[in-house]
Amino acid sequence: MDYKASGVDIDAGNEAVRRIRGLARSTFTPAVLSDIGSFGGLFRLEPGRFREPVLVASADGVGTKLKVAFMANKHDSVGVDLVNHCVNDILVQGAEPLFFLDYLATGRLRPEVAESIVGGMAAACRENGCALLGGETAEMPGFYTEGEYDLAGFIVGAADRERLITGRGIAEGDALIGVASSGLHTNGYSLARRIVFDQLGLDVDSHVGELGATVGAALLEPHRSYLPLVRPLLEGALIKGMAHITGGGITDNLPRVLPASTVARVDLSRWSMPPIFAWLMAQGRVPLDDMLRTFNMGVGLIIVTAPGKADQVIDELAARGGRDARVIGEIVAGDGPSVSYTGRFPAA
């Protein structure tokens, strides 16, 4: 008996490392002091970049969106999802990403799949200006179903302490600016898959007229990174708070940045529900309250700013490609922190 006979192929692991080494190196910045393969990644915090640096870290996964990737045999987009999700999570506290690490675990390692996943992560890291510093690829026979894997990411960023965005200054009358999502992002897939594959009996190649795309293309649309839009605003005093709208939707995520005794009053009439959400809601007969607490409903980021600065923030976002940003509500006094909804989504 040898290790390969027990299900672990060391040669496949070495081949995967060979394939991804160049991808990771393509993301390296001058601050990276180590190479792929070392026991720990070395990163130098550049002197003078931050006056009083605060490190901001986060970890996340892609969730059951991976199931759709398995069905479609498309693996690069989930790598993009993972990086952009983590980037957004630290961005809302005012941090810019420094480096990223990943954890990929599977039952039987397929080097070409690992290369595709890491290729997506590397592309997203380059676009966000952070280094893919290292990671772990674990082959665990008998633990995962054939052809499946799990994926997690870890990001470290930094911000000047005086520029941290904490939400403490949010007050009654402040404006809520919503920035559009690119689809489901990485949340709500357990419900979406149940509707699409179990209830409707569709597959990833089924074309849906209401979506103008196949099921696989619609569900695998990559998670949007808001860093290119928001980075220039971090240096000013325009942003009081930000919320990344992930699992729990607006209902559960926006209160995370609100002070006590404040309520975010969100006006649903201010934006149209994107087709993917309207279709899932209709096909699954999902109550609106559940939709709002499961999906982002077309708004992936919410920025809180003083009412007199809302137009300036929207103009700044539009100048960098965020022409879909708009005021979607305001902060009011109340028994909070919480969210209340007014209005109705416009009819399609």
CATH number at residue 221: 3.90.650.10
Q: What is the DSSP string of 105-146?
A: EESS--HHHHHHHHHHHHHHHHHHT-EEEEEEEEE-TTTS-T
Give rounded-to-5 percent helix, strand, coil for the chain: 35, 25, 40
Q: Provide the pLDDT for residue 204.
A: 98
189 and 337: one domain? yes
280 and 193: one domain? yes
204 and 319: one domain? yes
Q: Provide the pLDDT for residue 237.
A: 87
205 and 142: one domain? no
pTM for this one? 0.95
Query: Measured between alpha carbons, how far is 73 from 248 in angstroms, rounded to an integer?
Result: 28
In the chain, the number of structural domains is: 2
Using DSSP, state whether 183 is helix, strand or coil: coil
126 and 197: one domain? no
In a domain, 311, yes or no: yes
Contact 60, 82 (CB under 8 A): yes
Query: Measured between alpha carbons, how far is 96 from 81 in angstroms, rounded to an integer?
Result: 17
Query: Measured between alpha carbons, how far is 212 from 303 in angstroms, rounded to an integer?
Result: 30
Q: Provide the pLDDT for residue 9.
A: 74
Query: Measured between alpha carbons, how far is 348 from 274 in angstroms, rounded to an integer?
Result: 9
Given 163, 185, 208, the domain boundary residue is 163
Contact 181, 218 (CB under 8 A): no
In a domain, 94, yes or no: yes
In a domain, 313, yes or no: yes
Q: Provide the pLDDT for residue 143.
A: 93
- Number of Cβ within 10 Å of residue 255's Cβ equals 18
pLDDT per residue rounded down to tens, the chain (348 residues): 776 766 777 888 788 888 999 999 999 999 999 998 889 999 999 888 899 999 999 999 999 999 999 999 999 999 999 999 999 999 999 999 999 999 999 999 999 999 999 999 999 999 999 999 999 999 999 999 999 999 999 999 999 999 999 999 999 999 999 999 999 999 999 999 999 999 999 999 999 999 999 999 999 999 999 999 999 999 888 999 999 999 999 999 999 999 999 999 999 999 999 999 999 999 999 999 999 999 999 999 999 999 999 999 999 999 999 889 999 999 999 998 999 999 999 986
Q: Is the Cα torsion angle 254, 258, 263, 269 positive or negative in sign?
A: negative
188 and 286: one domain? yes
Single out the residue of 182, 211, 187, 177 nearest to residue 280, CA to CA. Answer: 211
Given 116, 132, 163, the domain boundary residue is 163
Query: Measured between alpha carbons, how far is 26 from 21 in angstroms, rounded to an integer?
Result: 9
Strands 326-333 and 262-267: antiparallel
338 and 190: one domain? yes
318 and 225: one domain? yes
Residue type, 141: P
The angle subtended at Cα 39 by Cα 38 and Cα 42, nearest 5°, is 70
Query: Measured between alpha carbons, how far is 27 from 239 in angstroms, rounded to an integer?
Result: 29
94 and 189: one domain? no
Query: Measured between alpha carbons, how far is 48 from 27 in angstroms, rounded to an integer?
Result: 22
Question: In the chain, how long is the greatest CA-to-CA distance?
Answer: 72
Residue type, 287: P
200 and 323: one domain? yes
Residue type, 332: V
Q: Provide the pLDDT for residue 3.
A: 65
In a domain, 328, yes or no: yes
In a domain, 2, yes or no: no
201 and 322: one domain? yes
Q: Provide the pLDDT for residue 175.
A: 98
In a domain, 195, yes or no: yes
150 and 179: one domain? no
Task: Give me the phi and psi of 213, to 5 degrees please.
Answer: -160, 170
Q: Provide the pLDDT for residue 140.
A: 93
Query: Measured between alpha carbons, how far is 211 from 218 in angstroms, rounded to an integer?
Result: 7
Query: Measured between alpha carbons, how far is 229 from 154 in angstroms, rounded to an integer?
Result: 22
Site of tokens 């559940």: 290
Given 128, 163, 198, the domain boundary residue is 163
What's the domain range around 135? 10-163
In a domain, 15, yes or no: yes
Query: Measured between alpha carbons, how far is 188 from 110 in angstroms, rounded to an integer?
Result: 28
Q: Provide the pLDDT for residue 69.
A: 98
Query: Can you give the CATH number for the domain in which 54 is found?
Result: 3.30.1330.10
In a domain, 51, yes or no: yes
Burial 309-330 (b: 16+ CB within 10 A, else e): bbeebbebbeeeebebbbbbbb
